[in-house]
Every structure is written in C-alpha cells, then in structure tokens.
Structure 1
Amino acid sequence: MRDILVVAIVMVAALAALRRPWIGIMLWTWLSIMNPHRYTWGFAYNAPLAAIAAASVLLGLLITKDRESPFKASPVTWLVVFMVWMTISWLMGLDPAGDYAQWKKVMKIDFMVIISLMLLHRKQHIFALMWVCAGSMALLGIKGGIFTLMSGGDFHVWGPPGSFIEDNNEFAAALVMTIPLLRFLQLQLHKAWARHGMMAAMVLCAASALGSQSRGALLAISAMAFYLWWNSKSKLRVGLALLVVSVPLIMFMPDSWVNRMATIDNYQQDASAMGRISAWWSAWNSAFHYPFGVGFNGARPELFALYSPYQTGAGVRAAHSIYFEVLGNHGFVGLFLFLGLLAATWRAAGWLKRQKFSAPETRWCSELGMLCQVSLAGYAVGGAFLSLSYFDLPYDVMVMVVLTRVWVEKEYWLTEPVYAPGWKTVPGLAAPARPA
C-alpha cells in the first residue's frame, strides 16, 4: 500500500510539473530530503522516483516561458564555482572511477538547486519550498520524537535508510536545522490550533534530535537556541520558553544519554571522538600534499597511515565534519569556496533581517532572514562534528534566502496576488485573490 501511494503521488506531481515545472521542484525536494520511498518494502524502494521527478522538471523547463536566469545573487556564483572545483577535484583525485557515484549524486543535487533558481521566483514558490523542506523533516522528526518519548530515550533515532541523513548524528543535525524553519512557518499561521500544532512539531523534533544521542546535535541545538535568544526582541519571554521546553526534555533523557553527553569533556577517552580527530588530522595534512584534493573519499587507509598521528587504534573513519570533509576531499580551495558560499548566504539572510519593512505584505521577509540565519548557525556548529557537506537542506535554505531577497529588491508584492492568512490559503494550495 505504501508503495502504491508513494508512486501515485510521484506520477501525479510529475505530470503536473510538465505544465508547472515548479511543482516538479517540490516533488524533487520532497524525495531528496524525506526519502519517503525508503519507508516502503516493495517495488518503490529502489524505483527511480527522483529521476522521474528530475525528468519532469527538465521537460517542463523546456516548455515553460516562466523561467529566469539562476544568477540572482552572489551565493549562486559561489555555488557554481564550487561545483566546477568539485568536478576538477574529482577528476584529479586518487580514484575518479570509484568516486564517480558520489560525484554524480552531489552534482544532481546542486544542478537541481540551480534549476530551482530558474523556476522559482514568486512568494508562492518560496512558501511552497519552505513547507516542503520543513514539512518533510518535521514528519520524520515527529515520528522520531514520539519514538523517543515512548521508549524513554533508551534507543537511537535514525534517518531514512540510504540517505545523507541515515546516521543518527546527521539526522539529528538536520532536525536542528529544521526547527527554525518550523518557527518561521508558525509565525505565518493565525489560527491558534495551527500555531499550537506547529509548536508541538518543534518540540517533537527537538526530542528526536536529543533521542539520537548525538553530541554534535546537542552542541548545535545549544548554539541555535543561544543565537535565537540573542536576536529576539523579547529576551525574557524567549528565554523562559526555551527553558520550559529544554529542561523537561533533558530531564526526561536516560542515564545513558547523560553519560554519552558527558564524554564531550573527556573526548580523549572516547574512541569515536579520537577517530574523528584522526580523520581531521588526515584531512588537514593531505590537503597540503594534494592541492586539488583527493576526491570524494578521504577515508582511505593509505592517507591515514601517512597523515594521521592517531591512525593506530583510532581506525579509518569519515571526517564527521563539514569543514574537514570538504578540506580533505577538495583541498584548501574547495574549503574556501564552501565557506564563501555559507558566508554569502549568511549575509543575504542578514540583509533581509535588517530591513525595516513597512508594507504588511513584506514583513515575513525579515522573519525568514532571521530564522534562516538561526538554521545556518545550527548547521555551522553541528556541521563541525557531522558529515553533511552535500546534504540538500542547507542549499535549499540558500535558495529561499536568495529568492526572498530578489523578491524584495524587485518589489514583487506590488504586482503579485495577495494571500490571506490561514491554512486554507497556504500559498500554492489555494486560488489567490487579486489586490484591490
């Protein structure tokens, strides 16, 4: 039954994308982030659903006239240059044939990001992308949060099988990034029951992140909460709300969780932590010897033997850090481009946050900028200990920030339809009313 449902949704959305290709972007995003087909047990599990979504988008792109240049702001330029450098790094790496599958996977994601910037430009599109990104992760987080509460937090929470966020650590970091996006959506809702429901979803996502027993996620959610509190207008109210939510969740967690979090202070005695430090040293030292990087696989025994002082006993591990992963894979130039992309996105979000919008149709833009910065803060901190360099969600946040800035600069609210608040008129789900 699950297989039939997932395939039916994909086929209907793919057909709709031939006329409105932005719908195909939403379909691709849903499949890439949530991986719903990985929760089936039949023919849909390995079906080429993402390929169907991508094909429908490309066909729709050829047909539609409603497309624009993707080069709308500096983050896009940084991304394209980063894509070019990753391709050079792959070709100049140690094993281009063996790394081809990972290069292909990363390029597909980044290519669809570029296509998204060509097809999305309205408020309707921005909100639809936000709902798909945040909603996809929220459904997984709600499921994981309920599991954590029912099991007493004794078991790890895992992400979709075969995805970037399959591991408990990466899944928790993605949930941390999602919570600010859910907060943005909550601010757009006007019905009390809808706002309360969104709050419950955020709490369950936080419970799921804690239930993953990921130390990196704990640091990420702490940094994100601090940044949210620091930038809030009512620090007392926000601080109390954070305490009311966080203290009971932490007190609920079992002793095994507390003991694992305590190893942050005693990382020298933890094999997992020392394995990461070994991988970081290997990435750092290999970057000096391979200016173009080693390709998409830096976890090689020969590299650890040459460049890691901890290779004995620590084993060969993935970097578990977005910074050292990119550094080891693509060298110092690759790391510079990756950081430049993040910094450009951060600045664009900060520009939105600083704007003083007087028109009621534009006030959501500053909220989006601020909360996307909160999401990026969680990614920057949590990513220091997790391998999420190529995961879709940070790049989708970049798309939303860029689109919103262009929407503001071109004053699209003067010509676009006006959407009334409420769940029945969520942009993209209801016919709009023309402004008077």
Structure 2
Amino acid sequence: MRDVILLLMMLATLPYAFKRPVVGALVYAVFSLMSPQRLSFGFAYFFPFAMILATVTILSLLASKEQKKLPFTPPVIQLIIFTAWITLTTFFAQNPEGAWTEWNRVIKTMLMTLLTIMTIRTVNDVKALLLTIGVSLGFWGFKGGVWTILSGGHNGVLGPQSTYIGDNNTLALAMVTTVPLLVALSNIAPTKWTKRIALGLAMLTAISALGSYSRGALLGGLAMTFFLWLKSNSKAKTGAILLLLVPILLTAMPAEWTGRMHTIDNYQEDGSAMGRINAWQFAINVANHLPLGGGFMCFTAPMYQLFAPNPNFVIVAHSIYFQVLGEHGYIGLFFFLLLFFLSWRTGSRVVRKCGTNPEYAWAATTAKMCQVSIIGYLTAGAFLAMAFYELPYYILAVLVSIEKVLFIAPQPDNTPPLRLPFLNRKPKRRLPGQVDATATTRLPRR
C-alpha cells in the first residue's frame, strides 16, 4: 500500500512540474534528501523516482517560457570548475569501474544543484526550497528525536537504509547541518503555531543528532551551537536559551553515551580512531604520489597495500577533507574548500546587501543560518566521508538563489508564486458589516 501511495503522490506532482520547472526540482529534492521510498517494502523501494523527476524537470525547463537564468556568481562558477575537475580525475582513476559508478551518482547532484538554481525565480520559490530541505530531513530528525526520548537515549538512531545517511554517523551529520535551516524556517513561518512547529522540529533534530552516538556530531554540534549564537539577532536571549538547554541535553544522555564521547580524549586506545588516522595517512600518500589523486572509490585493499602505513586496516576515508584529497588530489581539495568559502562569502554579501531593510530581514537571517549549517557540516564532516552528500550543495543553492531573486534577477510581480500552506497566510474572513482596518479609506468626491 505504501508503494502505491508514494507512486500516486509522485505522479500527482508531474502536471505541476510541467507547468513550473521549480516544482520538479523541489519534488526531486524530497526524494534525494528524505528518501521516502526507503519506507516502502515493495516495488517502490528501488523505483527510479529521482530519474523520472530529473527528466521531467529538464524537459519542463526546456519547454517553459519562463526566463532561464543561471547566475554566474563565484560559487556557481566554482561548482562548475570542481565538477570538471572530478570528471578529469575519473578518467585516470585507479578503480575505474567503481569510480565511474560513483561519478554517475555525483554528477546528478551537481547537475540538479545547478538546475534548482536555474528554476528558482521568486522569493517564494526560495522559501519553498528551504521548506523542502527542512521538512525532508526534519522528518528523520523528528523520528530520531522521539525515539531517543522514548528510549532514554539507550538505543542509537539510524537513518534510512541504502542511503547516504543510513548509519548513525552520517545521519548525525545531516541532523547537525539541518538544525540551523529549521531555525531559519521558523523565521519565515507566517503564524505562531507554524513557528513553534519549526522550532520544535529543530529541537528534536538536535536530540536525534545526540542520540546517534556520533562523536563527530558532538563536535559539529558544539561548533554549530557557537556560531548559531554568534549569528543570532538577539545574542542575549539566544545565549540564555542555549546555556539552559545544552547542559540539560548532555546530562540527560545515559552513561554509555558519555563513555563513548570520552573516547575522543583517548583516541590512541580507540581502534576506530586509529583506523581513521591510518586512512588519512593513506590519502596523503596517494595525493603525494598521484597529482590527480586516486579517483573516486580509491580507498580499496589493493591501494592500501601500496600507500597505507597499515595495509591490513582498510576503511573509507572517514573525513570529507581526506576523502577529496585521496580521490582528487591537492588541487581537488583546494577547489572543494574554495567552493564552501565562496558560499560563505555569498551569505555575507547577502546579509550586507539586505542591511536593515525589514523587507529583506528573512533573507539576512536565512543567509546567516546557512552559514551556520556550513560550519556544522565542515566540522562534523572532518570525521565522515560525505564530501558529495546532497545537503551542503542544496545549502549553496539556497544562498545563490537568495542573491539571485533579490539582487541579480528580480522577477516582476506577475510571476505566479508557489502556494504553500506553511508559507502563505490565508486572509482573515470578515463578518458582514465588519470593516477591514488594513484597507485604504477613500474619501467621497465633492
């Protein structure tokens, strides 16, 4: 039954996707980030939802009369350069079969990031993208947060199977990165109850990250919390809330969670930590000997025999930095870091351009929260091989799209908006004879 319902829901969106390409891009983001098909048990589990939605989005974009504009801002140019570089390194990969399989997955992420930026035309489109990201990953944050509370934190939290965020560590990185986006979502919520829902979801998502038992998530969460306070418009209020909540959350976790976090101090005695150090040294050796890196999926047993200090301890990179370094060399790592630096600068530029204009307050807050998400990703990602996970590239898309719709290519007022209940407040119904206080009063002519 779940399979049929999911298929019918996807098919129901296709007419809207043909009418406006941004709808196809947003529905694709749902299947990419949330992976609802992993909640099914039949044919939908491996059904090509993403491929169908990507195809429809491209066809709709080609047929649409809407203006098709990709702003060639620094992050967009750098994303294209980085995509070209990882394509070049794939031609010289040490594991050709595995490399091209991974390249095929990664290139879809890069292409859909660019297509998403291209299809977004209005302020409401940007808010819809933020809502899509927040709800898609907030679903797993809600599920994991409730599970952590009900189990007292004794049982670890896992993500959807056969996805990028399937295990506890990768799910934790996604949750840490999502929390600031949910805070930004609460800022654009039109009513008090939708604002409270977004903030409650952010809290449950943070609890889910703690319940994952991920040490990288703890470090990323602490860094994210500090920058969340730093970017807050009300530092005193935010600081007081964080000083109250953070100790309560940490002390509420069980003894086994505390014991696992303490292994950060004694990494020499932790086999997992020593395995990561071995993998990181392997990545350095590969980059030193191969200027283009080993290519995608080069962390293999034959390669470890050649470049690892301990050739018998074969694991993945366990770090976005050493993953890119080992696979794409020092130049690839430079391009990767430059991409997020330029994304950060875009956020700062948006905040500066918005200034104190109350009409742009939502954009400034969203840009700040995207910067906080980048910090959470780059910190927690230091211990996880998720360099090509879709979420950080969607954050880039949000930042570029805000600058595009507000300052580069603003659209006329007659652009059809997306009607979303969470973002659009319904007008209040007036009783017969009741005067609308917001209406302009016109005096009769003499």
What TM-score, normalized by structure 1, do the two folds share? 0.93
1: CA distance between counterparts of 2:226 and 2:25? 33
Partner of 2:236: 236
2:330 aligns with 332
CA shift digits 1:332-355 (9 cap, x unpaired): 111111111111101001112233
TM-superposed deviation, 1:405: 1.1
Secondary structure of the structure 2 residue equivalent to 1:318: coil
> Aligned partners of 1:388, 1:96: CA distance in 2, in Å?
20
Match of 2:363?
365
Q: For the Cα contact (< 8 Å) 1:3–1:44, is it kept in 2?
A: yes
Equivalence for 2:397: 399
Question: Is 1:83 the equivalent of 2:76?
Answer: no
CA contact (8 A) 1:14 1:27 kept: no
Please list every run of 5 or more consecutive structure 2 residues that lacks an aligned counterpart in the other structure. Answer: 428-439, 441-446
Aligned to 2:278: 278
Which shows bigger deviation, 190-199 or 75-84?
A: 190-199
- Which 10-residue stretch deviates more, 253-262 or 189-198? 189-198
CA–CA separation in structure 1 for the residues paired with 2:200 and 2:244:
13
Over the matched positions of the two proteins, sequence identity in percent amounts to: 37
Match of 1:7 in 2: 7
Q: Find the aligned partners of 2:94 and 2:298 in 1 and give their Cα distance.
A: 9
Q: Larger radius of gyration, structure 1 or 2?
A: 2
Instruction: Return the letter of the residue paired with 1:193.
Output: W
How far apart are 1:2 and its partner, in Å? 1.4
* In structure 1, C-alpha distance between the alignment counterparts of 2:142 and 2:305, rounded to whole Å: 43
| Deviation by residue 1:134-188 (Cα, 9 ceiling, x = unmatched) | 1100011000111111111112111111111112111111111111111011112
Q: 1:311 to 1:356 in 2, by over 3 A?
A: same
User: Residue type of the partner of 1:403?
Assistant: S
Q: Deviations over 1:374-415 (max 9, x none)?
A: 010101111111111111111111111011112222473874
**Aligned match of 2:372:** 374
Cα distance in 1 for partners of 2:403, 2:55 equals: 29
Partner in structure 2 of residue 426 of structure 1: 423
2:43 alignment partner, SS class: coil
- Whether the 8 Å contact between 1:305 and 1:311 is mirrored in structure 2 is yes
Confirm whether residue 165 of structure 1 aligns to residue 165 of structure 2: yes
After the TM superposition, which residues 383-398 of structure 1 pair with which residues of structure 2 at under 5 Å, given as runs?
Answer: 383-398=381-396
Question: Aligned in 2, Cα 1:430/1:235: closer, same or farther, shift over 3 Å?
Answer: closer
Per the TM alignment, residue 195 of structure 1 is displaced from its structure 2 partner at its CA by: 2.0
Deviations 1:306-356 (A, max 9, x none): 3222445xx111111111101111111111111111111010011122335
Unaligned runs of 5+ in 1: none
- Please state whether the residue corresponding to 2:213 is helix, strand or coil: coil
The aligned residue for residue 63 of structure 2 is: 63
Distance 2:277 2:110 in 1: 29
Matching residue's letter, 1:351 = R
- Give the letter aligned to residue 231 of structure 2: N
Within a 5 Å distance, the mapping from 1:183-332 to structure 2 comes to: 183-312=183-312, 315-332=313-330
Q: Distance in 2 between matches of 1:170 and 1:63?
A: 38
Measure how far apart 1:63 and its partner are. Answer: 0.8
Letter in 2 for 1:8: L
Following superposition, the deviation at residue 14 of structure 1 comes to: 2.2
Query: CA separation of 1:301/1:363 partners in 2, compared to 1, >3 Å: closer, same or farther?
Result: same
Q: TM-score with structure 2 length normalisation? A: 0.91
The answer as to 2:27 corresponding to 1:27 is yes
Deviation at 1:418, TM superposition (A): 11
- Counterpart AA for 1:319: A
Check whether the contact 1:72–1:406 (CA below 8 A) recurs between aligned residues: no
| Structure 1 Cα separation of the partners of residues 16 and 75 of structure 2 | 30
Deviation for aligned residue 1:250? 1.4
Is the Cα contact below 8 Å between 1:33 and 1:137 reproduced in 2?
yes
Whether the aligned pair in 1 keeps the contact of 2:354 and 2:360 (CA below 8 Å) is no
Moved more, 46-55 or 402-411: 402-411
Q: Pairwise CA RMSD of aligned residues?
A: 2.2
